[in-house]
Homo-oligomer: A and B are copies of this chain.
């Protein structure tokens, strides 16, 4: 991670997010309590590159708070947002086993990002089957999500894409120990549009539609899902 950011000094043992972090498993087996596993625990400002496309993989990034987008840029400069990452999620899992980051990572809001050294992770993965499974589980989920998005963007109309996008975010928030129907979309409409293969105008229109239907209550960055089952039914 190369970026102007505030290093926050603390140990993993003291970290509030510890029990949602892979590092937790590593600390349990340590004789030296209070050991720091991470390289950097930093407060990062909105719109900062925390990974550049083409960077060598040397760590895993844990989003402690805030959110991040992954952006692929092609030779002619066109860009594709390939994924959003939220609090409790890891950036770099897909890249973990090969050498370079195929996408950049950019914060969508002021965030706290913890950079975790690869070595102890890999060592523990070799030693402990349950730990390896945890990593696999997260990686598998991300890869499945990737394929599912490809399907959605290729075959479904704009309304369903937005609806499924919202549903996915609620599900992920739940997985990340925030089981509410309240979403905070830190990214711009244009970012959502790029991610879903639409335009900002269409994203706006579809959100308005869901609003009118009473399925959601959207005001700017904040969205409440009024009736998640009705929404599920609507996009099915």
Contacts and interface: CB of A to CB of B under 8 A. Distances in A.
Interface stretch (A35-43, A95-103, A173-181, A184-192): A95-103
A100 B140 contact: yes
Interface string A193-211: 0101100000000000000
Interface in A127-157: 136, 139-140, 143-144, 146-151, 153-155
A20 interface: no
B139 A80 contact: no
B197 A78 contact: no
Contacts of A150: 72, 80, 82, 149-150, 153
A99 B129 CA distance: 12
Nearest to A76: B236
Given A102-B143, A140-B100, A153 B72 contact: no
Contact of A80 (B100, B155, B196): B155
A72 B197 contact: no
A6 interface: no
Given A97-B96, A194-B154, A82 B143 contact: no
Contacts of A96: 97
A192 to B, nearest CB: 12
A94 interface: yes
A143 B80 contact: no
A74 interface: yes
B153 A154 contact: yes
A80 B156 CA distance: 11
Interface in A196-235: 196-197
A147 B82 contact: yes
Contacts of A136: 98-99
Given A153-B154, A153-B197, A154-B197, A140 B102 contact: yes
Given A78-B155, A150-B150, 7 more contacts: A76-B236, A80-B151, A82-B147, A98-B140, A98-B143, A99-B140, A154-B194
